[in-house]
Amino acid sequence: MNVSTVVSLLISAILCPFALLFLKVTFVTTMASMFNPSLHKQRHQFVVDFIQRNKPKKVVDLGCGECSLLSRLKFRREIELLVGVDIDERKLRRKTLGLAPLSTDFLQPTFEQLRVELYHGSVLEKDARVRGFDLVTSIEVIEHLHLADVKCFSAVVFGYMAPKAVIISTPNSEFNPLLPGLSGFRHSDHKFEWTRAEFTSWALEACCHYGYEVEFTGVGRAPQGQQVGFCSQIAVFHRVRRENICNVPPGYDPEDEFSYTQLYSVNYPSLRDNNTLRRVLVSEVLYWTETLKNKWMEERSGDPGAEFSSWLAARGKQLHENQTTWQEYLEHPSDQCSTRALWDGEGYDHLPSAEHQQPFTLHSSLWVPLGFLCSCIPKVSSLSGSVEHLKLLLMDAPEVRLSVDGSAVIVNCLQQNDQNEKEVNDIEDTGSADACQFNSTAERVEDWEDEVYDEGSPCVKTSSGRV
């Protein structure tokens, strides 16, 4: 009894992330023992779970505070536009940089795209930039509004923003007696705390008025036997009526209102951006053509008699038949022994050409048809989608040399040799030495010893440079 009381006593009413003013930080740490995971994490998890089920593309968090929910949501791939709004500009500014893309996001961009925006503004005011979203969350926010303003809040959220779904959480005042040491509200800034009935009646009124339906739930279960409901009550609204809602992305209608100030916006790198796509694709194409070229050079130097084109044709055929890709082959040179036997054998009757979609050599250049790249390198095909698209993207890339008709990538195979030649020439010393030479007499000889600083006297002796 004693121990458990002490523990529960120490848990002050620190149940809300906004609560900042407490006597002892120890309360914060013991909080974990009442709810595990902590209550605010449970609320966030609730939102994450909802997003996982409903896959909203555009999400706005009203009263995002220190952006802790946003920084979790930025990892959800289904979200394309993530917006945070808060009235506390300082708090927002301090946390913005945490929402920037990670270094690795630039290294391996995906097809998912994400834009993060942060606004300074009041949830009681309208702003066209947050209209027509899929989800609005407002976690432990309404209790900070004056009761009189809650109506206005409903009008802005349900009436103006009109999202497909809304998640609103607020403290359940019926739970308060179970929170030891609590008198009054859970936070000094709370203007009210509702019972379940009060919350329900507000929510139902909003539903009625704006065409939503609502489910009630919550996080933070009461101890067994206590019929007080969840510690944090949550209402999940879904829009039912469609007619009076514009579910279009905000255009720049002159009637639109812009009351928020944008503090931050960032686009995460994505393959849907053509420049990013081209860059990744070019890298990939050049990597594979280079690998092909090196293979060829190796073969050529190892066995000068071997015809590259013929073995290539044979091997390509063989690989096609076996449903293996070039990528697999090239990435696993250990398989080489098994395949070598194959392309030393039959299959010479193929005359390589662009139509046959096999790489071939011409004028000591390696020609790699785009069709070959698209069909044999899975990464290239998944990036470009089609040969035509590949061609289109590569045409604008100065790093890639395309054939005149744009059907093949040309790799020059002589480059390396030239370089080696040049290197040798650098070493080679030409011309004879006719440097001016002197006899070592009649030189001015210095003696630094004469000039050293003597610790006895503070001044430095001057030089007596002998000649």
Partner 1 sequence: MGAHHTLSKMCQVLKLYCLWINVGIFLIVSQISAGFQQVKLGERGGRRRDFNDAGIYTRQAMVHVKDSKSGTSGKPISLSSNFFRLLSCPQWVLYQYHIKFEPPMESRRLRSALIYQHEQTLGKAKIFDGGMLFLPIRLAQKETILHSETRNKEAVKITVTLTNELPPSSPVCIQFYNLILRKILKLLHLQQIGRNYYNPHDPLNIPQHKLKIWPGYVTTILHYESSIMMCIDISHKVLRSNTVLDFMTNLRAQYGDHRFADMCTKELVGCIVLTKYNNKTYRVDDIAWDHTPNNTFVKGDTTISFKKYFKDYHDSDIYDDNQVLLVSHVKKMGPAGGPPPGPAMLVPELCHLTGLTDKMRADYNIMRDMLKHTKLEPDARERRLTRFVNSIREKPDAQAELDQWGLCFDKQLAKLSGRVLAVERIYQGSKSFDYDLWKADWSREMRGNPVISSPEIKKWFLFHTRQNGNDAHSLLESLQRVSSPLGIHLHKPVLVSYDDFPESLLKALKQNVGPDTQMVAVILPSNRKDRYECVKKYLCVDFPVPSQCVVSRTLKPKSLMTVATKLALQMACKVGGELWSVEIPLKQLMVVGIDCYHDTSAGKRSIGALVASLNQTMTRWFSKCVLQHKGQEIMDGLKMALAGALKDYHKFNNCLPSRIIVYRDGVGDGQLHSVVNFEVAQILESIKTFGEGYEPKLSVVVVTKRISCRFFAHINGSVSNPPPGTVVDTEVTRPEWYDFYIVSQAVHNGSVSPTHYNVVYDTSGLKPDHMQRLTYKLCHMYFNWQGIIRVPAPCMYAHKLAFLVGQSIHKEPNTKLDDYLFYL
**Residues in 405-424 at the binding interface with partner 1, rule: CB under 8 A:** 416, 419, 424
Q: Which stretch binds partner 1 (CB under 8 A): 151-159, 245-253, 383-391, 452-460?
A: 452-460
383, 410, 381, 382: which is closest to 276 by C-alpha? 383
Rounded to 10 deg, the angle between the 336-344 and 308-321 helix axes is 110
Query: x/- site string to partner 1, residues 242 to 281, per CB under 8 A?
Result: ------------------------x--x---------xx-
The residue among 258, 67, 60 whose CA lies nearest residue 157 is 60
- The residues in 86-115 that bind partner 1, with binding defined as CB under 8 A, are 90, 97, 100-108
Question: In a 10 Å sphere around its CB, with 0-12 CB exposed, 13-18 middle and 19+ buried, how is residue 299 labelled?
Answer: middle
CA distances from 135 to 79, 128, 166, 382 (A): 10, 15, 6, 31
**Shortest Å distance, C-beta 23 to partner 1:** 7
Q: Does 297 bind partner 1 (CB under 8 A)?
A: no
- Positions in 277-296 near partner 1 (CB under 8 A): 279-280, 282-287, 290
Region of 252-260, 369-377, 385-393, 453-461 interacting with partner 1 (CB under 8 A): 453-461
Distances 265 to 82, 118, 356 between C-alpha atoms, Å: 10, 6, 49
Establish if 181 lies at the interface with partner 1 (CB under 8 A).
Answer: yes
Among 55, 77, 146, 209, binds partner 1 (CB under 8 A): 77
Q: Binding of partner 1 at residue 209 (CB under 8 A)? A: no
Number of residues that bind partner 1 (CB under 8 A): 82
Residue closer to partner 1 by CB (options 97, 248) is: 97
Give residues 138-177 in contact with partner 1 (rule: CB under 8 A).
177
Q: Note whether 437 binds partner 1 by CB under 8 A.
A: yes
Taking CB under 8 A as the criterion, the residue among 399, 412, 414, 418 binding partner 1 is 399
Closest by CA to 131, choosing from 248, 25, 301, is: 248
What's the closest the beta carbon of residue 114 comes to partner 1, in angstroms?
Answer: 11
Residue of 181, 75, 88 whose CA lies nearest to 141: 88
Q: Does 429 bind partner 1 (CB under 8 A)?
A: yes
Which residues does residue 234 pair with via DSSP β-bridges, in sequence order?
A: 169, 217
* Selected binder of partner 1 within 209, 241, 242, 332 (CB under 8 A): 332
User: Cβ 428 to partner 1, closest distance in Å?
Assistant: 5
DSSP letters, 309-360, are HHHHHHHHHHHHHTT--HHHHHH-GGGHHHHHHHHHSS-TTPPP-GGGT--E
Q: For 203-252, list the strands marked E by DSSP.
A: 212-219, 232-239
- Going by the DSSP 8-state scheme, the letter that residue 250 receives in this structure is -
Q: Which is nearer to partner 1, 37 or 385 (CB)?
A: 37
Other beta carbons less than 10 A from residue 276's beta carbon:
16
Output the CA–CA distances (angstroms, integers) from residue 212 to 148, 168, 248, 351, in the order listed. Answer: 22, 13, 18, 68
Residue 80 touches partner 1, criterion: CB under 8 A: no
Give the Cβ contact number of residue 61 at 10 Å.
25
Closest CB to partner 1 among 116 and 245? 116
Among 57, 76, 238, 389, binds partner 1 (CB under 8 A): 76
Residue among 331, 329, 297, 314 at smallest CA distance from 417: 297
**Region of 1-9, 119-127, 206-214, 252-260 interacting with partner 1 (CB under 8 A):** 1-9
Closest alpha carbon to 280 in 372, 399, 387, 366: 399
Q: Which of 159, 180, 250, 406 binds partner 1 (CB under 8 A)?
A: 180
Among 197, 427, 442, 467, binds partner 1 (CB under 8 A): 427
Which of 227, 338, 432, 464: binder of partner 1 (CB under 8 A)? 432
